[in-house]
Structure 1
Amino acid sequence: MPTRRRLILASPFLAAPALAQAQWSPERPLRFIVPFPAGGSSDTQARLIAEPLARALGQPVVIENRPGAGGVIGATEAARAAPDGHTLFIATTGTHAANVSLYSRLAYNPVRDFAPVTMVADYAQFIGVGPEWPAAPQRSLEGLVAALRADTTKRSFASSGNGSPTHLAGEMFGHLFGIPMEHVPYRGQALAVADVIAGRVPLMFPSIADVLGQIRAGRVTPLATMAPTRSSAIPDVPTTAELGHPSLVSSIWTAIFLRAGSPPAAVARMNAEIVRILAAPELAQRLGEAGFGVQSSTPEELARFQQAEITRWAEVVRISGARLD
């Protein structure tokens, strides 16, 4: 299965030929639908892209936050947009991979209703504990597993909601180590983090980007990054692969899509412009410092990656037994 790490990190030199061939230009302001609230990870990325994209296209790019139902509301809105290249959508692991298996019915089809443009970012999750968790040796992946096996009262974990990547990562962890875990869902990551810090729930599997401030403040301790390679945001934290568990990998990704049926020239122009924006050193640095790994691609690479992710998350959902309807 292709991994997100194999996607090509595009350079500004690769963008130039595509840009020369793409003559499409928007005729009016563009909508940029974000299926989560303002201030979240997807919203932050969309806003960092929207301003330089507006300058490049000569039209305003208006962010529309349409949160709710794990991204379903926003994705459904984007799927109903006119196929004219004027509505962008920032998709996530949930909206365009996991939701297909979590819901028996979706009001949109993440493959049929959307035209891939480019990947945006990939941000690894980690296995973390709060300040109430005992000190070494339990503050290590090996110590954590031993503690959970020895004490059933410590087996609960917090997530940002049912079916979220932070929920499914916890189910992956429990399945791998043969430990029945108790899932405690919250309405968003902030509430989940607050209860882990307060000691009400011992464990969580959030993305690095969402909890980086709490990590740096010492209120959340990462025991292992759920990725093949270490994160530049927390370089001293070992990966699950390093610790002998290469299959325990989970991250949240974002990508940009247009409505299916949009003019191919619109897709090409959007890809060229957004890849160029993501290749800018200042933007890459800002995203990296926030815990996001820039991961641009061609539309074809994104389409293949999405199909692989739909298959991968279907298995995770099957193991977890999670359903959202």
Structure 2
Amino acid sequence: MFKKVLMTSALLGAALALSGTATAQNYPTKPVRVVVGFGAGGGTDLAARAIAQKLSDALGTTFIVDNRPGAAGNLGADIVAKATPDGYTMLMSNSTIAIPSLSLKLPFDIRKNFIPLSLIALGPSVLVVSPSLAVKDIKGLVALAKSKPNALSFGSGGIGNVTHLAMELLMSSAGIEMQHIPYKGGAPSVVGLLSGEVQALFTSIPTALSQIKAGKVRALGVSISKRSNALPDVPSIAEAGVPGYYAASWYGLLLPAGTPTAVVNTLSKEIVAAMEVSAIRDGMNRQGFEPVGNEPEEFAKFIREEIPRWDKVVKAARIKPQ
């Protein structure tokens, strides 16, 4: 009798395992939800919609973008962390998820509750100043700030926002001090620059592009290690006088921990293929993104390196967790 029970249990376990494998191999059989922890129209949302459409075409099912803004993207991340790990719920997040030191207590751990799927794109910021400011380049801004410590003010999209941290990193790297004036978003911060409330700021390239082209703000440098395809005439900050400088937003897809390997592999293969399509890359370039599209292992390594790097900036700037 005991042997019969053991045999029955073993057969049941094997059947369930085979069922799970078959389900993963047949993936997807229904619509997939792509949760975005930010509102429609922002960089994270635009990146999600670009890749969702391509995955829908490639895998023959609908990838639905579901905007769940709140708590600096953590609301959407928590939804995905707690979702069934079957590949039908994924997260499009950005660099804020890799800065846990900004939060007092998170309901998830990015290192334990997610499987990094692919880094979709980098979103470099651009350092812009008012044309009325008597500086033409990064070296000029650094010299002016050094001659007048804390006399200049800079805006950002909010305390702990990547645009805030990018300036904190620049100040520590260049040995300068400026006053921080946070705004509720990138667009309001640019309005503050145009009105003269602040003299400088980092913002996303799409937010500032029209103002740069119209000559209403002056672009001094981009925050990644090379020039942006959207602003080929603007040097990188590292190139312009602050060696080794690098600070960028990024956009990537993550799955709940425990998602079957077969599902991860299916999605990874299609994402890498999608990111090689010229229409996708060209569209992202026009919007100020730097397309990537790497594999899970590479993205996981990238996140592991991002966490301590930003943690160092947060601590040096003495930013209190919220």
Q: So what's the TM-score if we normalise by structure 1?
A: 0.87
| Map of 2:11 onto structure 1 | none
- In the other structure, the counterpart of 2:9 is none
2:102·2:321 contact (CA, 8 Å) conserved in 1? yes
CA distance in 1, matches of 2:181, 2:108: 28
Contact 1:89-1:257 within 8 A present in 2 as well? yes
The answer on 1:38 being equivalent to 2:40 is: yes
* Distance in 2 (alpha carbons) for counterparts of 1:105 and 1:191: 28
| Total equivalences in the alignment | 299
Measured at CA, do residues 316 and 24 of structure 1 come closer, stay the same or move farther in structure 2, by a change above 3 Å?
A: farther
Find 2:56's aligned residue among 30, 54, 57: 54
2:144 is equivalent to residue 142 of structure 1: no
Contact 1:24 1:269 in 2 (8 A): no
Aligned-partner Cα distance in 1 for 2:306–2:150: 33
Could you say what secondary structure the match of 2:319 adopts? coil
1:71 aligns to what? 73
Quick check: 1:236 aligned with 2:233? yes
Query: Residue 320 of structure 2 aligns to a residue in which SS?
Result: coil
Counterpart amino acid of residue 168 in structure 1 = L
SS at match of 2:233: coil
Residue deviations 1:176-219, cap 9 Å, x none?
Answer: 22222221111111111111112111110123233222222222
Which consecutive unaligned segments of at least 5 residues does structure 1 have?
Answer: 1-21
Superposition map of 1:238-317 within 5 A:
238-317=235-314
Change beyond 3 A, Cα 1:247–1:271: same
CA separation in 2, counterparts of 1:322 and 1:106?
17
Deviations 1:70-116 (A, max 9, x none): 21111112212111110111121111x11x11123111111211111
Contact 1:228/1:246 (<8 A) preserved: no
CA-CA distance at 1:291 after TM superposition: 1.1
Distance 1:256 1:150, change over 3 A: same
- Is the contact made by 2:225 and 2:245 (CA closer than 8 Å) also made in structure 1? no
Please report how far the alpha carbon of residue 245 of structure 1 lies from its aligned counterpart in structure 2 after TM superposition.
1.7
**What does residue 87 of structure 2 align with?**
85
Q: Which segment drifts farther, 75-84 or 22-31?
A: 22-31
One-letter identity of the residue aligned with 2:66: E
2:31 aligned residue: 29
TM-score for both structures, normalised by structure 2: 0.88
Counterpart residue number, 1:101: 101
Show the counterpart of 1:176. Answer: 173
Which structure would you say has the larger Rg? 2
Structure having greater relative contact order (Cα 8 Å, sep ≥ 6):
1
Letter aligned with residue 112 of structure 1: K
Percent of aligned positions that are identical:
37
Stretch moving more, 35-44 or 216-225: 216-225
Partner Cα separation in structure 2 for residue 294 and residue 54 of structure 1: 19
Give 1:154 deviation, angstroms: 4.1
Which residue in the other structure is 1:9 paired with? none
What amino acid is the match of 1:104? Answer: L
Residue of structure 2 equivalent to 1:3 = none
Query: What one-letter code is carried by the residue in structure 2 that aligns with 1:32?
Result: V
Q: Give the AA of the match of 1:84.
A: D
Give the partner amino acid of 1:107: P
- What CA distance in whole angstroms lies between the structure 2 residues aligned with 1:172 and 1:242? 16
The aligned residue for residue 153 of structure 2 is 156
Structure 2: how far apart are the matches of 1:271 and 1:250? 26
How big is the shift at 1:152? 4.5
Q: CA RMSD in A?
A: 1.6
**Equivalent pair of 1:117/1:271 in contact (CA under 8 Å):** yes
Look up the match of 1:121: 121
Unaligned 5+ runs, structure 2: 1-23
Distance in 1 of aligned mates of 2:193 and 2:146: 20
Q: Residue 316 of structure 1: CA displacement?
A: 1.0
How far apart are residue 58 of structure 1 and its match? 2.1
CA shift at 1:128, angstroms?
A: 1.1
Deviant stretches of 4+, over 6 Å: none
Report the secondary structure of 2:309's partner residue. Answer: helix
- Preserved CA contact (<8 Å) 1:124 1:252: yes
- What per-residue deviation string (whole Å, max 9, x for no partner) do you get for residues 222-270 of structure 1? 1112222111211111222223322321111111111111111111111
**Aligned AA (2:265):** A
User: Could you tell me which amino acid in structure 2 is paired with residue 206 of structure 1?
Assistant: T
CA shift for structure 1 position 142:
1.4
Is the CA contact 2:112–2:257 (under 8 Å) kept in the aligned structure 1? yes
Could you say which residue in structure 2 is the equivalent of 1:19?
A: none
